[in-house]
Amino acid sequence: MGSHPTFIMRNVVIIGSGCAGNTAAIYSARARLSPLVIIGHEAGGQLSITSIVENFPGFPEGVDGPQLVENMKQQAIHFGADYIHGSVEEVDFSKRPFRLKVAGVWVETRTVIIASGASARWLGIPGEEQFIAKGYSSCATCDGFFFRNKKIMVVGGGDSAMEEANFLTRFGESVTLVHRRDQFRASKIMVDRVMNNPKITMILNTAVESIIPNETGDVVGVVLKNLVTGETKNQDVDGLFVAIGHIPNTKPFLGQIDTDDEGYIVGKGGARTNIPGVFHAGDVEDRIYRQAITASGAGCKAAIESERFLEAEGH
């Protein structure tokens, strides 16, 4: 990290240090643009809370998620990127240079890449953080494989929950879908697929009240509460997957960057946002794919667009 990176006018400030932000940093740094990366509140993004990643190309044996994202960061630093801890508190994109407030200090920059991601919504049950990567997951694509011939539970009633329940039947001995109501947000076709899958059992009007761990802290069961009768019961579970939505990390940009009614950035083609010189990358805009590789690809695109934008302006 440079001595006082925050006081220097930057060419590129990248908000977020997940796959999208780090890849944007590698490309911007190799273009000699000295990017400044604001690490944000979830350093390393969603990969930092997974275990092994087996679908990132180039790693036939799989790769440790936190290590992969740390390697990306080191690669960016090697080419001259600066990283600072802290989150963006406020931005002023109304005029250029753009201004961002991080840990109480205003940073000025010619371009911005918003790669602040989306955070999985978790259940909010007691002590849940300690079970992440120990049987409690928000990503079936990432972690389903670890539950071959095991008892899997999926929580949620939207399309994601239906899709994940179906997908997880490839691995699990059984899949139980738990939903807090008896009506689904998911499309009928997705619900029908779940209902017609003999490996899936549905439990409706029910919430997961707590997780039961074994002596090594792995998930071995849950306490379920019927929300109509109030009754509780224990059920054996090896893998508990939540699919109850994501929350895009766009709070500081609301009102300046166009977002949809859930807060996701509305892209304007390529990596552009409604403000020329402010670009997006990764899950902060992408509610469909949400993969490490697609986020990295988006980070690459945003960096190239920011580089061309600067070049067109003679920087």
Q: Does residue 228 touch ligand NAP according to CB under 6 A?
A: no
Q: Does residue 193 touch ligand NAP according to CB under 6 A?
A: no
Q: Does residue 157 touch ligand NAP according to CB under 6 A?
A: yes
Distance between CA 269 and CA 281 in Å, rounded?
A: 12
Contact range with ligand NAP by CB under 6 A, out of 103-111, 242-250, 266-274, 302-310: 242-250
Distance between CA 227 and CA 181 in Å, rounded?
A: 8
The H or E element that residue 225 is part of is: strand 219-226
Residue 19 is among the residues annotated as catalytic for this protein: no
Q: How far is the CB of 200 from ligand NAP (least distance, A)?
A: 16
Say how many Å lie between the first and final Cα of the chain, rounded: 22
Of positions 62, 80, 245, 263, contacts ligand NAP by CB under 6 A: 245
Amino acid type, 35: P
Identify whether the C-beta of residue 38 lies closer than 8 Å to the C-beta of residue 87.
Answer: yes
Q: Does residue 238 touch ligand NAP according to CB under 6 A?
A: no
Task: Report the SS3 class of residue 268.
Answer: coil
Residue 142 is among the residues annotated as catalytic for this protein: yes
Identify whether the C-beta of residue 177 lies closer than 8 Å to the C-beta of residue 206.
Answer: no
Q: How far is the CB of 208 from ligand NAP (least distance, A)?
A: 8
Phi, psi of 99 (to 5 degrees): -125, 140
Contact range with ligand NAP by CB under 6 A, out of 102-110, 152-160, 168-176, 227-235: 152-160
Q: Which of 19, 82, 92, 142 is catalytic?
A: 142
Binding site for ligand NAP (CB under 6 A): 121, 123, 155-161, 163, 180-181, 185, 243-245, 287
User: Which residues have a catalytic role annotated?
Assistant: 139, 142-143
